Chains A and B, each alone.
Chain A
Amino acid sequence: MAEETIEVKVVEGGAKLGNELRAGTVAKTGSTKRTQELNGMLHANRPNLDITRARAFTKVYRETEGYPALYRRYKACAEVYRTLSDTVYDYEQLVGWPTKRIRGANFAIELHAHWLVDDLPNLRDRTYDPFEVTDEDYKELEEDLLPYWKDKTAAAQWKHYVTPEEWDRAQFGGVSDVSNYICANGSHFIPSWTDVIANGFQKYYEKAKKLLAELDPNDPASIEKKYFYEGIIEVCEAIHDWADRMSASCLLKAKEEADPVRKKELEEMAAMMKRVPWGPATNFHDAMETAWAVCFFLFVEGAGPSITWGRFDQYMYPYYKADIEAGTLTPEKALELIEEMYIKVTSNVWFQSTQMAYIFGGYYRYPHLDVGGLDANGRDASNELSYLCLRAMRYSRTTSPAVSLLLHQKTPDSLLREACELAADGMGHPSFFDVETLYKMLATRGAGAGRSNYSLQDIMKYGSPIGCVEPGVEGMQYGHTDSGIINVAGCIYAAVTNGKKAKGVDGTHCGKIVTFPSGEPETLDTYEKFEQACLAQIEYAIKEAHSNLIIVEKLLAEQFNLPTFTMLLDGALERGVDATAGGAKVNIGPTMQMVGFATAVDSMVAIKKVVYDDKAVPLRCVANAIEANFVGYEDTRALLMAAPKFGNDDDYADDVACRVWSFFGDTTNKLKMYRGNYCDAAIQMVQSNVGYGAMTGATPNGRLAGAPISDTMSASQQADTHGPLAAARSYGKLDYTKYSNGTLLNMWISQSEMMEV
């Protein structure tokens, strides 16, 4: 009856408009003329598709038909370094670009071809995240590259393991979704920064040579490992070759340079590229170069987001301090280099499928940099760089990286104040993390109800959030962390309507069973039975996502290996195991992300109050009301909306919140993944509440069909009416240890409360 009354609004806007508005000379912000010009360069370019990596992969794969998967893969990754651009631009002090043009995406064709083959004609003009592509490259993609890869991607292969109905439901059903995993192999990683900056890739090259020489040809394990070490050696050599090419480019540019000051700079950059990232960093500038180069290497080799700088102010500080004491560096010069790194990493856009851009659009690729926290002995770890990294963001005003403060009781007030002043500027930087809670999450990472493989020292010295909020440890952890997405608001809709998805909303399965029939409303005659039905729906959705994810995980481990990630994992070379196949000390993921938490909780609380406690209407009436998008049920909607809500320090609602929260975590933590670790839970799926809301019918908290569901772990929109501290007390009741893949909370405090505007 409701189908014709539900209208899902057609939306416009998106980055297509933003690119047009920003093009040109706006946004020349920075602490110096140099960073202002670099920022201007960034904004003068629009996101564009680079096919260099796609060509390199296609060439190698064509030449190596019949060879082992790992051999082909490592060779192709080496070829990518051999074909990287060697451009050096004016004003630059950090050398190297992942792409031929600024704001490019050197994209992973082996993961994207299955959808791009159909969607290429729309890529330049799609609403969310359009990409420029030259006519020449377009033709090559269309005629040569995409036809070769379209049936070879992870998603194309996964299709062989599931029914067409399951394939649709897992990508477009909008309740149990794995689309974020299948195109983003190589992501969510804190490489061993301390080690690679101090030693360079030379160390991994020599280690691989030694381990190769030591292999016993009569040991069956040596068969695979021979290819493994030979591949690592080839990739290291390709990185060395890239640095030599960059050095030559700097020298060439120096020769053409008229300004003697810039000429000298370029000559020094040429010398720097002979030192790093191949060898040890000898000063702060060298260390910054390795930090930039390694970051973009991983963003090119991997297709996904969240290559993370981790505890940047810790591992960079020895270089900073030595240079300051030697008089070869000033805080202002360090600030300028940090700003340049922020600008460069903002250039690095994320290339996503059209369906994913619809949910996660905005090009953002989630690099992340932390300051503050404690040291390995439990002392406050903050230093001058902690302040400079926060201050650099005020000057550069870039979207990336996400800078964050690791906050402990021991963190000085002056550093917290510095972070709060940055927050007051309104850019959304920084994030704030509680150090003690981070430690607790890492202590169970990948370990279900048990203890993770991390020692307390590992955690205290190297632990930090990845991407937006996912706990990780530098050089010790690998795994895609944003994999299964569980829309619990959709689960509650299904619990009330015996397993259905609403008619007339986005995605597939509208008006049909999208999960499983958990009982007609009449059978749910007590609140306890109703809550059990809700939890059963959530469990069903989690298990369905899990069954899909382990298939893809197996495909990735067998065919989509990542040599540079592997080198940058402590002990992976000794183990002779690729990152995707379990080479890390702690393997994690794929994980389960909850979306629509407060919408689900408020809906259950509203039903508890109106149906079971007050007995004002039967559950059947609520089912009819949400199926009708409340048309003709305005009185019922008013009753439901008047019920208590999560986020007001009211236990009537918060008790339900705690039960749903813990159930989701416990259910997830029991599932074992392909690499042997247990699944971790999270609640951090950024703005996907809008896309999943568009796929969700009206909910019993009074929310209309298609409207956004609640974001991340925040209270429902406008539902937290008792001020920020009451909201904080509600959030403080939840058990964070059950969410070892992280939790994300948005709050809004207006600028005019804190400064004159």
Chain B
Amino acid sequence: MQTIRETGLDLPEATYQMPTYKEAGMNNFVNLVRTMLNDYGVYHVQFNTIDKGTLIDAKAHPENYPTLLVRVAGYSVYWTDIAERVQDDIINRTEHTF
């Protein structure tokens, strides 16, 4: 099977910019998911990956982040649609590093 990862897609009008990945970090991330699920048998995990600093700024200046999406739990939502108390709870969770 030739996947789009190998063949690429021809999308001249696309708004999306491919990011530059940090390979060591991506490898750690991939391995964490494999280990936690396939080795430890944890049923489900999902990640919030927006940096804490960004969320703190978005809380102070919502007008600059009209379409910022975040994972709350089980679903994603526009940052500006959720209550301040939920924003605070997300900011207050544990931000892990490798």
Give A residues with C-beta under 8 Å from B: 9, 11-15, 17-19, 21-22, 26-33, 36, 43, 127-128, 331-332, 335, 361-364, 366, 383-384, 387-388, 391, 394-395, 397, 399-400, 402, 407-409, 413-418, 420-421, 423-434, 436-438, 441, 465, 467-469, 684, 686-687, 689-690, 693-694, 708, 711-712, 714-715, 717-721, 723-725, 727-729, 731-732, 736, 739, 742-757
Q: List the 5 closest pairs (A to B, CB-CB), nearest first.
A: A428-B71, A468-B74, A732-B40, A18-B80, A18-B81
**Can you offer 26 A-B residue contacts whose CB atoms are under 8 A?**
A14-B83, A32-B13, A36-B13, A128-B83, A332-B9, A335-B9, A361-B81, A363-B81, A384-B4, A395-B15, A395-B16, A407-B33, A408-B38, A414-B5, A431-B46, A432-B46, A468-B74, A689-B73, A719-B94, A724-B98, A744-B44, A746-B45, A746-B46, A748-B95, A748-B96, A749-B49
Inter-chain contact B83/A712, CB cutoff 8 Å: no
Map CB proximity to A onto B23-49 as digits: 1 under 8 Å, 0 otherwise.
001101110111111111111111111
Known A395-B14, A399-B78, A749-B49; contact A22-B41, beta-carbon cutoff 8 A: no
Alpha-carbon distance A746/B44, docked complex (angstroms): 9
Closest Cβ–Cβ distance, residue A423 to chain B (whole Å): 5
**Range, interface on chain B:** 35 or more
Inter-chain contact B48/A756, CB cutoff 8 Å: no
Please indicate the chain B residues that have their CB under 8 angstroms from the CB of A432 in the complex: 33, 37, 44-46
Let me know if B56 is at the binding interface, CB within 8 A.
no
Identify which of B13, B36, B75 contacts A31 (C-beta below 8 A). B13
Map CB proximity to A onto B62-98 as digits: 1 under 8 Å, 0 otherwise.
1100110111111111111111111111001111111
Alpha-carbon distance A402/B69, docked complex (angstroms): 13
Please indicate the chain A residues that have their CB under 8 angstroms from the CB of B9 in the complex: 31, 331-332, 335, 391
* Known A395-B14, A434-B42; further 8 A-B contacts with Cβ < 8 A: A13-B83, A36-B13, A428-B48, A689-B89, A742-B44, A744-B44, A754-B25, A755-B25
Inter-chain contact A32/B76, CB cutoff 8 Å: no
User: Which of B39, B42, B43, B50 is packed against the most chain A CB atoms within 10 Å?
Assistant: B43
Alpha-carbon distance A33/B71, docked complex (angstroms): 27
User: Which of B19, B28, B38, B81 is packed against the most chain A CB atoms within 10 Å?
Assistant: B81
Inter-chain contact A420/B33, CB cutoff 8 Å: yes
Please indicate the chain B residues that have their CB under 8 angstroms from the CB of A127 in the complex: 83
Inter-chain contact A417/B89, CB cutoff 8 Å: no
Inter-chain contact A28/B73, CB cutoff 8 Å: no
Please indicate the chain A residues that have their CB under 8 angstroms from the CB of B40 in the complex: 728-729, 731-732
Alpha-carbon distance A363/B4, docked complex (angstroms): 33
Alpha-carbon distance A438/B30, docked complex (angstroms): 20
Name the residue of chain A whose CB is nearest to the CB of B19.
A755
Alpha-carbon distance A441/B42, docked complex (angstroms): 12
User: Which of B63, B67, B74 is packed against the most chain A CB atoms within 10 Å?
Assistant: B74
Inter-chain contact A27/B84, CB cutoff 8 Å: no
Closest Cβ–Cβ distance, residue B15 to chain A (whole Å): 5
Inter-chain contact B94/A715, CB cutoff 8 Å: yes
Inter-chain contact B49/A750, CB cutoff 8 Å: yes
Inter-chain contact B94/A717, CB cutoff 8 Å: yes
Please indicate the chain B residues that have their CB under 8 angstroms from the CB of A748 in the complex: 47-49, 93-96
Inter-chain contact B3/A754, CB cutoff 8 Å: no
Alpha-carbon distance A629/B10, docked complex (angstroms): 60
Let me know if B60 is at the binding interface, CB within 8 A.
no
Inter-chain contact A711/B80, CB cutoff 8 Å: no
Please indicate the chain A residues that have their CB under 8 angstroms from the CB of B5 in the complex: 387, 414, 417-418
Closest Cβ–Cβ distance, residue A507 to chain B (whole Å): 15
Closest Cβ–Cβ distance, residue B30 to chain A (whole Å): 5
Alpha-carbon distance A423/B72, docked complex (angstroms): 14
Alpha-carbon distance A757/B17, docked complex (angstroms): 12
Inter-chain contact B77/A750, CB cutoff 8 Å: no
Inter-chain contact B49/A423, CB cutoff 8 Å: yes
